[in-house]
């Protein structure tokens, strides 16, 4: 059984190799810098994936106790392999399994878009936070603000013009409205302290690795598998992406919202 939030089998490794450094590392640095400025002693990371942000948090907060969690056991296992010097657990964002008021900072990098009930996940973060603690998180802006991802969407439309998978626009880039995000955070019992729309530069080694990352290392693969052999469709997306962007190395931009929310004192 798969869903829009499933990462299983080879997906975590492909995600980390092909997409981690390109799409997630730039904002990982941004989040770790903001986390360090808050000087938390106890940090809980939600939807930590393969540990792209976790690694940066560990480096930025060498004294802090850090627990990293993810819904998918395969992601958490890959994270534990790549960032072994924090504690890893499998947990749903809506049921984190930590005591009330037990952490100073909850961090979530590009996870909220996948949560079926975002106010419930924010309420769970609020429950875990000590009075005055912070939730620091990122969500993608609309897809046109991210060069490489927008090109993948265009390539997919050329490869499957009749039944173009909408996963990218609907899920990772489908939670981009600042008003909606703010309303959900407040519904979860937190106050939005800072909401920044940020554009960062990004580099990708090749169009081919981007196509492989999206087609094989994200839940887009389940939508593609409905339309034909995955390897052939990946090759076709890679070819169209190369026509659009060149073989690489490639330069582009990433657009996202970076949000700090505060628990009540
Ligand atoms: C795009 S990845 C981001 C991973 C990581 N934070 C990063 O920046 O590389 C989204 C992550 O959300 C996780 N996820 C999806 N639904 C979740 C849920 N309900 N609770 C916790 N994690 C979830 C997925 O397993 C995946 O690791």
* pLDDT tens figures, 41-57: 999 999 999 999 999 99
Q: What is the CATH number of the domain that holds 20?
A: 3.40.50.150
For residue range 105-132, list pLDDT tens digits in order. 999 999 999 999 999 999 999 999 999 9
**Distance of CA 229 to CAs 160, 223, 224, 226, 232, Å?**
13, 11, 8, 9, 5
Helices marked H in the chain — which ranges? Answer: 11-14, 25-38, 52-60, 73-82, 118-128, 147-159, 167-170, 178-187, 207-217, 220-225, 230-245
CA-nearest residue, atom 22 of ligand 1: 47
The reported pLDDT for the residue numbered 209 is 98
Distance 111 CA to ligand 1 centre (A): 4
- In this predicted model, what pLDDT tens digit does every residue of 53-110 receive, in sequence order? 999 999 999 999 999 999 999 999 999 999 999 999 999 999 999 999 999 999 999 9
CB atoms within 10 A of CB 86: 20
Point out which residues pair with 137 in neighbouring strands: 108, 259
Cα 229 to ligand 1 centroid, rounded to whole Å: 26
pLDDT of residue 71: 98
Give the model confidence (pLDDT) of 207-243 as tens digits.
999 999 999 999 999 999 999 999 999 999 999 999 9
**Predicted local confidence at residue 1, as pLDDT:** 75
Ligand 1 pocket mutation, candidates 3, 5, 66, 138, criterion most atoms within 8 A of CB: 5
Tokens of residue 151, six digits: 């090109």
The residue whose CA is least distant from atom 26 of ligand 1 is: 49
The number of distinct structural domains making up the chain is 1
84, β-bridge pairs: none
Distance 238 CA to ligand 1 centre (A): 25
Which residues does a 6 A CB cutoff place in the pocket of ligand 1? 5, 7, 20, 24, 46-49, 52-53, 70-72, 75, 92-93, 109-111, 114-115
How far apart CA 63 and CA 70 sit, in angstroms, is 22
Strand-pair partners of 139: 257
pLDDT digits (tens, 9 = 90+) for 162-201: 999 999 999 999 999 999 999 999 999 999 999 999 999 9
Distance 223 CA to ligand 1 centre (A): 18
Specify the ligand 1 atom closest to the Cα of 28: 8
Whole domain around residue 235: which residue ranges? 3-262
CA–CA gap between residue 214 and residue 122 (Å, rounded): 27
Probe target for ligand 1 pocket from 27, 49, 143, with the most ligand atoms within 8 Å of CB: 49
The overall pTM is greater than 0.85: yes
Measured in angstroms, how far is the CA atom of residue 114 from the centroid of ligand 1?
7
DSSP 92: B
Cα(75) to centroid of ligand 1, in Å? Answer: 8
């Amino acid at each position: 059984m798969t869903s829009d939030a499933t990462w299983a089998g080879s997906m975590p490794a492909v995600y980390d190799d092909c997409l981690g450094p390109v799409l997630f590392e730039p904002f990982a640095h941004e989040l770790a810098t903001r986390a360090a400025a808050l000087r938390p002693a106890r940090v809980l990371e939600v939807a930590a994936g393969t540990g792209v942000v976790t690694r940066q948090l560990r480096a930025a907060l060498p004294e802090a106790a850090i627990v990293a969690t993810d819904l998918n056991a395969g992601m958490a296992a890959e994270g534990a392999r790549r960032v072994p010097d924090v504690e890893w657990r499998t947990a749903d964002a809506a049921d984190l399994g930590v005591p009330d008021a037990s952490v100073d900072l909850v961090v979530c990098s590009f996870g909220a878009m996948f949560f079926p009930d975002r106010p419930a996940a924010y309420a769970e973060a609020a429950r875990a936070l000590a009075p005055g603690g912070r939730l620091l998180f990122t969500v993608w802006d609309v897809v046109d603000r991210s060069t490489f991802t927008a090109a993948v969407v265009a390539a997919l439309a050329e490869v499957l013009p009749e039944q173009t998978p909408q996963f990218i626009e609907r899920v990772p880039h489908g939670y981009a409205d600042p008003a909606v995000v703010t309303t959900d955070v407040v519904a979860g019992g937190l106050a939005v302290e800072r909401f920044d729309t940020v554009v960062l530069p990004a580099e990708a080694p090749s169009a081919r690795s981007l196509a492989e990352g999206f087609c094989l290392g994200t839940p887009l693969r389940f939508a593609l598998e409905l339309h034909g052999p995955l390897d052939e469709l990946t090759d076709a997306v890679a070819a169209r992406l190369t026509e659009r962007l060149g073989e690489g190395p490639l330069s582009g931009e990433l657009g996202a919202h970076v949000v700090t929310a505060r628990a009540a004192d």
